[in-house]
Amino acid sequence: MEEYLPISTTSEREFATKCCDAIEKAGIPVVMEHIDIIQDGRFFPAFRLFVPIQFRQSGIKLIETIRMTYEDGVTELESGILAADAA
């Protein structure tokens, strides 16, 4: 059984879908999980992306490339989530 690691969490469905599409086109298996995040007592829907451990760096590089073209869609919540993922 392959071990999958999280490579990104986002509150933007469109961004998550674009990332999944690009990762799959690169021949990398990807899983998108829908999650709820609690911030300041409120629930927010979010999406976490996972890839097999051996594709982690490639997946992260693809997401960074997509993020550069999608920056206008990044919300304050997402910025906090992304910072937590990097830690």
pLDDT digits (tens, 9 = 90+) for 41-51: 888 899 999 99
Cα within 13 Å of Cα(78), Cβ side: 20
Which pTM value belongs to this model? 0.75
Q: Which CATH code of 1.20.120, 3.30.1490, 3.30.70, 1.10.10 fits the domain covering 4-86?
A: 3.30.70
Q: Which residue has the higher pLDDT, 72 or 52?
A: 52
d(CA 60, CA 68): 12
**Partners of 35 in beta bridges:** 46
- Domain boundaries in the chain? 4-86
**How would residue 19 be classed by pLDDT, with cut points 50, 70 and 90?**
very high
What value does the mean pLDDT take over residues 3-10?
A: 94
Kindly report the backbone phi and psi dihedral angles of residue 75, in degrees, each rounded to the nearest multiple of 5, phi listed first.
-95, 170
